[in-house]
Structure formats: structure tokens, C-alpha cells
Amino acid sequence: MEVSNRFIVIKDHIEEAPKESHFNLKTESLSLSVVSGSDDVIVRNLYISIDPYQINRMKSNSSSQKAINFAVPITPNQAIDGVAVGKVVACGSGKFEKDDVVVGLFTWAEYSLVKEASIINKLDNFEFPLTYRLGVLGFTGLSAYAGFFELCKPKKGEKVFVSAASGSVGCLAAQYAKLFGCYVVGSAGSQKKVEVLKDKLGLDDAFNYKEETDLKSALKRYFPEGIDIYFDNVGGDMLEAAVDNMNSFGRVAVCGVISEYTDAGKRAAPDMLNVVYKRLNIRGFLAADFLNIFADFVSHTSDLLRSGKLLNLEDLSYGVDNIPSSFIGLFNGDNIGKKIVKLAEDE
């Protein structure tokens, strides 16, 4: 049996903020059978994770592309791979059965033909909605959990600042900090997001950075006693302002620098005298660095979800043709929480 498989490609390398014109929707015939004994697997994709780091893979060159397998370059006019949840249609080896629900590195497509090694795991008896495995209980959640607990080593009562606090990682990092017993302030790009941070997530305070003419003064206003921990998702001017307001022995977990992804001229230049004399610890990290604590992370976070103490924010779009606009929206601040595209029903 064959199907017409629709998938997304980039027309050429992208060196600026992504636009609809950078992408193309292609259709190709795909056989839904595989060679017996092979390690080929065909997956019908249900949910696609939309992540900003992918823009660095779309560039002709980026230092990130040599860092880890997840970050290797994307070739124009070929299917784009990303983390997704899907159902097995066929498996050459028999390791996976038809209709097994799996999470793995699949493609921005309705169907993906992949190798068994692309499958991260099978979702047996998963008690939460499948989308959680792409967000709060996936690499997104692990980034927030590991960045806050493993890198920042928080103490109760410490002052924590989270940038892009309504984004996929930021909204979780901010909640972990608040639940741990810290004083937490988040920044976001609209009044609506600020209200979500304060009213839904229970942060101590939040502000719209677009309304601030001086970020250093703004942070001084929100943290008159200084910042102990900064969970950075944006880089640029915000990182500079945070470093200016850090307390001695402060910790900065650099999870992302989205403000710098699409603007080659925007690079953070923190005051290095502050870094030295305040003895600051600034460290970048990837979720993959902390796979050794994945089980503990899932256990702890699942307990918080079951108890209702942790709120999961998701932003869903529908259909393969909406993948480009969903991705572009990340850089325009359109999403609140984890951005996911739904391609098919679970059942």
C-alpha cells in the first residue's frame, strides 16, 4: 500500500528570521511496507515538537552544528527531522509492533521512514496526554529541571529571575523555582503573558520587557536585593542586565539565546569585571547532558503534575501545512508554553 506523504523542507539555508517563503510543502508517494529483517520503521506522526534551536540547523554554518547529533545541519529540500510522537505502521525487525506509540527523532511529515535507532522509546502505559512526552516530561522539561536544580543548586528563599518565562522551558523553570521556595520574577513579551505568569503560574512578579527602556534599571527595581539565580533563555541585552544585578556567587544557567539566533549583530557582552569580582558561575548546557537523571526528573515532575502543583502550558496548531507558521511564531513570541503541531488523532 502507498500513501501520499506530505512533508516540510527548507528551500535554502536560512540566515535571518524565518519566513513562510523559506519553506516548502512537498508531497511524495511512500510505501507503507518495509523489507522483512531490516531495521526500517515507518511511523505515522501524531505530534511534532516545534523548537527554536532548529533555526541554527537551518543556517549554512553555525558553531552549534558540530556540538551534538541533534544539532547537525539540515539539508535544503530534504525532510527536516525533529522530536515527535507517532504510531508504528510497519517494522522490519519486529522489535516494534503495529500501532505501538513511540517517541523519537522523526520528520516534519505525516509519515516518517526511519531506522530503529531513531526511536527513543516506546510509550507503554503512559498515564498523561502524549504531548507531555514532547514538553513537560520530555527534553523541554528536562532542560528546565536540570538547568535549575543541577546547575544552579538553589537554596530556599533565593532570588530567581527567568527570562522568556512564558515559553516552553521558562514556564517550567519558573514553576520549579517557585515550588522549591524561591522568590521568582519572570519576563515576557506581552501583558497577556505577564498575567499568565502571575495569575496562573503564581510567580511573585513579572514584567513586559518590551515596555522597559532600561533593562538594568528594571531588574534593579524587581530585585532590589540582587539576583541569586538567572535562568537565561534569551541572551543579548537581558543577559547583560542580569549580570549587572547578580549577587556574589550567583549562578546563571544559559539554556538558550533566542534573541541572538536570528540577529548576527546581537551578541551578549556582560561586564566581565562583575563576573570576576562577584565570582559568578555562568554555564551553558544541553538537555542531553543530563540523561542520567531523566528517570528522577520524570518521577519528580509526574508527582507535581498529579498533585496539580505544576501547570503544563501547551500551544497546539494543527496539520503539516501549519508547521512553518508555528516555527516562525516562536521568533515572534506567538506561543505561550510548549509549541506542538498535531498531525493525527491518537486513536
C-alpha cell at 240: 547583560
* Residues 288-332 pLDDT 10s: 999 999 999 999 999 999 999 999 999 999 999 999 999 999 999
Write down the residue that cell numbers 515576557 correspond to.
188
* Residues 40-49 pLDDT 10s: 999 999 999 9
Domain 139-288 has CATH 3.40.190.10: no
Domain 2-135+314-342 has CATH 3.50.50.60: no
Torsion of CA 97, 101, 102, 108, to 10 degrees: 110
Give the angle subtended at the CA of 201 by the CAs of 195 and 205, to the nearest 5°: 60
C-alpha 219/C-alpha 222 separation (Å) is 5
Q: What is the DSSP letter of 167?
A: B
Please give the mean pLDDT across all residues of the chain. 96
Strand partners, 50: none
Q: CA–CA distance from 7 to each of 64, 114, 289, 306 (Å)? A: 25, 14, 30, 36
* Residues 150-162 pLDDT 10s: 999 999 999 999 9
**pLDDT per residue of the chain (347 residues) written in tens, 0 to 9:** 899 999 999 999 999 999 999 999 999 999 999 999 999 999 999 999 999 999 999 999 999 999 998 899 999 999 999 999 999 999 999 999 999 999 999 999 999 999 999 999 999 888 999 999 999 999 999 999 999 999 999 999 999 999 999 999 999 999 999 999 999 999 999 999 999 999 999 999 999 999 999 999 999 999 999 999 999 999 999 999 999 999 999 999 999 999 999 887 788 889 999 999 999 999 999 999 999 999 999 999 999 999 999 999 999 999 999 999 999 999 999 999 999 999 998 76
Spans of all domains in the chain: 2-135+314-342, 139-288
